[in-house]
């Protein structure tokens, strides 16, 4: 029996090298992606599709809170640093426990970034052309109203890391002070969901209001009711945006909640539906990725309905990025007296509730609210 106990497992000597090889491959993939981003990066309104030929330089008709474009570079480098730290933490967690559910969720939450151009189109989210961005005429990228920036790679921190760990910490603190028959113990998933909604709403509102006032992006059109600063460059659809983003945050957090057995909800779902039983980590990732994609589509569908119904009637006046043409798919900017040139962007037919495209609009004779010298 002593001899049998001394025999090493056949998997033991190869497990560590395989783990290191997997880690090296992932690092090579990340470096390759970063290299592709650096190679294709550009700044400014370069494409004739969005560039305003009547403007040279980068004038700003409105003063942002921290000056003209001052925090832009700092915020971009901050995103790079945050992602580098997140990658390092994820690599360490994966080496200690391959298939770690939280690492898989970081990958899944980052992966849904492919939808970002669509989710900029739906709520009229217009990014500052001076951000590092992809070439404006690439097929998927061109759906975004102006540019598709690289800073959105921080999706994992936005949709998962901050809301989930903050809400989980608060829930544990509440449970530590509550009796075992209290609501937070009897309904832990519902309690976590409510906390994710509250924390996600608050986190999104703070982050977006800061970003808009810093000149990172604007919402060119919003529904007046439920929005802050409606009719100004700094308008923000508070109720709609900050509530709808939690449609993604809540399932991301609940899927990573561990019950008293130590297993996450995502792992249990994979077991229940028998997804890739020989590749549990891959099955868990695919489950997470599928659910988050559906949730993100639901977020976009809410704004697409507002867009198709022409309820987003308040325009960000004045147009803050004159080096780019005015994104005016519904003609509301021209109706308010904003000077052109205008462009309607992509997906502006039946998907925007106007099969014939942008309607013909006449500028108001009195100059309008957004006319020269009035905004």
**Mean pLDDT value of segment 196-217:** 94
**Mean pLDDT value of segment 67-73:** 63
What is the 3 state secondary structure string of 245-293?
Answer: CHHHHHHHHHHCCECCCCCEHHHHHHHHHCCCCCCHHHHHHHHHHHHHH
> Are 170 and 184 spatial neighbours (Cβ–Cβ below 8 Å)?
no
CA angle 63, 66, 70 (to 5 degrees): 100
Residue 87 has pLDDT above 50, yes or no: yes
Residue 106 has pLDDT above 80, yes or no: yes
State the pLDDT confidence band at 4, using cuts at 50, 70 and 90. very low
Residue 92 has pLDDT above 50, yes or no: yes
CA distance 70 to 60: 12
CA distance 228 to 222: 10
What integer pLDDT is reported at residue 374 of this predicted model? 60
CA distance 130 to 143: 18
CA angle 52, 55, 58 (to 5 degrees): 100
State the pLDDT confidence band at 2, using cuts at 50, 70 and 90. very low
CA distance 278 to 99: 13
CA distance 349 to 347: 6
What integer pLDDT is reported at residue 201 of this predicted model? 97
Residue 13 has pLDDT above 70, yes or no: no
CA distance 104 to 285: 5
% of the chain at pLDDT higher than 70: 92
Ramachandran sector of residue 310 (left: φ over 0; alpha: ψ -120 to 50; beta: rest): left
CA distance 363 to 149: 32
Give 273-289 pLDDT, tens digit per residue: 887 788 888 999 999 99
- Residue ranges of the domains in the chain? 73-220+236-309
Tokens of 119: 């989710």
364 φ/ψ angles, rounded to the nearest 5 degrees: -65, 140
Tokens of 180: 């075992």
Tokens of 236: 């923000």
Of residues 36 and 228, more confidently modeled: 228
What integer pLDDT is reported at residue 78 of this predicted model? 85
Residue 373 has pLDDT above 60, yes or no: yes
Provide the 10 A C-beta neighbour count for residue 340: 14
Alpha helices in 97-222 (DSSP H): 101-111, 116-121, 155-156, 162-177, 183-186, 188-214
State the pLDDT confidence band at 179, using cuts at 50, 70 and 90. very high
**Mean pLDDT value of segment 113-128:** 96
Residue 52 has pLDDT above 70, yes or no: yes
Residue 121 has pLDDT above 90, yes or no: yes
Residue 17 has pLDDT above 80, yes or no: no
State the pLDDT confidence band at 71, using cuts at 50, 70 and 90. low
Residue 3 has pLDDT above 80, yes or no: no
Give 290-329 pLDDT, tens digit per residue: 999 999 999 999 999 999 999 999 999 999 999 999 999 9
Residue 6 has pLDDT above 50, yes or no: no
């Amino acid at each position: 029996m002593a001899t049998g106990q001394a025999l090493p497992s056949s998997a033991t000597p190869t497990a560590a090298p395989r783990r290191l090889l997997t880690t090296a491959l992932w690092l090579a993939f990340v470096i390759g992606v970063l290299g592709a981003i650096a190679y294709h990066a550009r700044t400014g309104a370069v494409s004739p599709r969005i560039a305003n030929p009547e403007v040279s330089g980068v004038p700003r008709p409105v003063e942002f809170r921290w000056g003209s474009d001052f925090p832009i570079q700092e915020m971009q480098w901050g995103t790079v640093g945050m992602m580098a730290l997140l990658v390092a933490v994820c690599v360490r967690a994966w080496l200690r426990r391959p298939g770690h559910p939280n690492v898989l969720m970081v990958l899944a939450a980052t992966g849904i970034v492919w939808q970002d151009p669509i989710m900029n189109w739906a709520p009229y989210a217009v990014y500052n052309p001076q951000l590092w961005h992809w070439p404006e005429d690439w097929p998927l990228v061109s759906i975004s109203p102006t540019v598709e920036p690289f800073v959105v790679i921080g999706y994992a921190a936005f949709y998962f890391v901050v809301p989930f760990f903050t809400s989980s910490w608060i829930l544990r603190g509440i449970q530590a002070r509550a009796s075992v028959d209290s609501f937070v113990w009897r309904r832990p998933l519902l309690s976590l969901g409510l906390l994710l909604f509250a924390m996600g709403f608050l986190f999104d509102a703070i982050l977006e209001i800061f970003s808009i006032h810093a000149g990172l992006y604007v919402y060119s059109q919003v529904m007046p009711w439920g929005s802050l600063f409606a009719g100004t460059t700094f308008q923000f659809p508070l109720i709609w945006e900050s509530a709808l983003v939690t449609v993604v945050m809540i399932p991301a957090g609940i899927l990573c909640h561990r019950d008293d057995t130590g297993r996450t909800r995502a792992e249990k779902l994979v077991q229940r539906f028998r997804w890739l039983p020989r590749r549990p980590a891959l099955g868990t990732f695919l489950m997470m990725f599928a659910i988050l994609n559906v949730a993100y589509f639901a977020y976009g569908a809410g704004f697409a309905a507002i867009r198709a119904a022409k309820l987003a009637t308040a325009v960000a006046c004045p147009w803050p990025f004159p080096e780019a043409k005015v994104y005016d798919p519904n003609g509301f900017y021209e109706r308010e007296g904003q000077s052109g040139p205008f462009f309607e962007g992509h997906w502006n037919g039946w998907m925007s509730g106007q099969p014939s495209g942008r309607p013909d609009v006449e500028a108001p004779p009195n100059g309008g609210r957004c006319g020269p010298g009035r905004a």
